[in-house]
Amino acid sequence: MRGSTPLAIAFVAPALLLLAAILGWPLISAVVLSLQNIRAIGTGGELIGFDNYAEVLSDATFWRAGGISIVWVLANAVVQTILALITALALQQNFPGVRIARTWVILTWIVPTVVTVIIWRWLFSSSGGMINPLLMQLGVIERPIGFFNTPTTAMATLIFINSWRWFPFIALMMLAGLTRIPSDLYEAARLDGANSWRRFIRITWPLLAPTMGVLLVIGTLLSFNVFDIIWLLTSGGPAGGTRTLPVLIYETAFKSYNLSEAATISVLATVFLMGFALLATRYISKTEAQ
């Protein structure tokens, strides 16, 4: 520890003040807003206690969006974990060009989401595009599929697109966990005659588990908050089939101009999310301690 306390405060103050003003204060305002009855921005309102909460909690739209959010988070977790694990295990190996591969694998994550949206909207398009003609040439389908036309296919397609964007990021984090596993463990196992599959099950998997746990928590928070991809591709449709909670919050606030109700949904979502993160991190640190 060195440096004087005033200097240290001068070092952290600008960053902390900005965070407090742009994240902390609005967060508190959101709670206050949820206890009022303000509709459009700039109009007045009065404190009405927990009426908004009673209303939101008895609204079927809220519960449906909550359910869709849970499906969204779980499906994204499964798809991303599988893709990321394959990627991380492949990139852990030595092969010509591995350095370039480790850098550029993240390509899907560094391009703007609006580009991701255009890429996939075009590729999945039912008039032209690439995927429909390809499937037809291969004889898998006879007629173009409207991937965004039914709630189920729209949801599946969105999950694929979002996972495509995020799996390389998760993979690099897993790779970091993999490189931390001491290589003499593998050497010892090899001398004992363990084949690659046994080495994976006995060494890689258990030692990677803590990293996977942390990544699952981070991944859950990240996928839950995804808004732009869904909004730009389906706007929550068809028939509300892809309307997750962030989409519902945005619609309530900026389409039906009910700020207080939107703030209420936000607060509820935050409480659920924080609760989940807290429980999950506690569970992880408990299993790690054992």
Partner 1 sequence: MRRSWQMNILLALSLAFLCLLILLPFWWVVSSSFKEPQEIISRSPTMVPHSFTLQHFQKLLSSSAYPTYMLNSLIVSTISAIITLMLAVPAAYAFFRMHFPGREVMYRTILLAYAFPSIVVLIPLFGMFVKLGLVDTLTGLVIINVTFALPFSIWMLRSFFAGLPKEIEEAAVMDGASTLVILRRVMIPLITPGIASVGIFAFILSWTEYVFTSVLIVSDAKRTVPVGFSGIIGQYQIDWGMLLAGASFAVLPVIILFSLVGRWFVGGLTEGAVK
Q: H or E segment at 113?
A: helix 113-123
- 154, 158, 212, 267: which one contacts partner 1 (CB under 8 A)? 267
Mark the segment that binds partner 1 (CB under 8 A) among 56-64, 70-78, 149-157, 259-267. Answer: 259-267
Selection from 19, 21, 49, 17 nearest residue 35 by Cα: 49
Q: With respect to partner 1, which residue has the nearer C-beta, 20 or 54?
A: 20
155 part of the interface to partner 1, by CB under 8 A: no
Count of residues making up the chain: 290
Which 3 state secondary structure label does DSSP give 47? strand
For residues 185 and 191, what is the distance between their CA atoms, to the nearest angstrom? 10
DSSP state letter for 23: I
Is residue 207 within 8 Å of 52, Cβ to Cβ?
A: no
Q: With respect to partner 1, which residue has the nearer C-beta, 154 or 172?
A: 172
Selection from 168, 178, 160, 162 nearest residue 222 by Cα: 162
Q: How far is the CB of 85 from partner 1 (least distance, A)?
A: 10
Count the residues of the shown chain that bind partner 1, applying the rule CB under 8 A.
102
Site for partner 1 in 118-147 (CB under 8 A): 118-120, 122-123, 125, 127-130, 133-134, 137
256 part of the interface to partner 1, by CB under 8 A: no
Site for partner 1 in 169-188 (CB under 8 A): 169, 172-173, 175-177, 179-180, 183, 186
71 part of the interface to partner 1, by CB under 8 A: no
Which 3 state secondary structure label does DSSP give 279? helix
Mark the segment that binds partner 1 (CB under 8 A) among 51-59, 74-82, 151-159, 254-262. Answer: 254-262
- 70, 209, 273, 280: which one contacts partner 1 (CB under 8 A)? 273
Handedness of CA 142, 147, 152, 158 (dihedral sign): positive
Binding mask 26-65 for partner 1 (x = CB under 8 A): xx-xx--x-------xx-----------------------
103 part of the interface to partner 1, by CB under 8 A: yes
For residues 16 and 226, what is the distance between their CA atoms, to the nearest angstrom? 25
- Distance of CA 200 to CAs 181, 194, 212, Å? 12, 10, 15
Selection from 54, 36, 87 nearest residue 258 by Cα: 36
- 44, 58, 99, 142: which one contacts partner 1 (CB under 8 A)? 99
Q: With respect to partner 1, which residue has the nearer C-beta, 148 or 224?
A: 224
Site for partner 1 in 219-248 (CB under 8 A): 221-222, 224-225, 227-228, 231-232, 245-246
201 part of the interface to partner 1, by CB under 8 A: no
Is residue 33 within 8 Å of 263, Cβ to Cβ?
A: yes
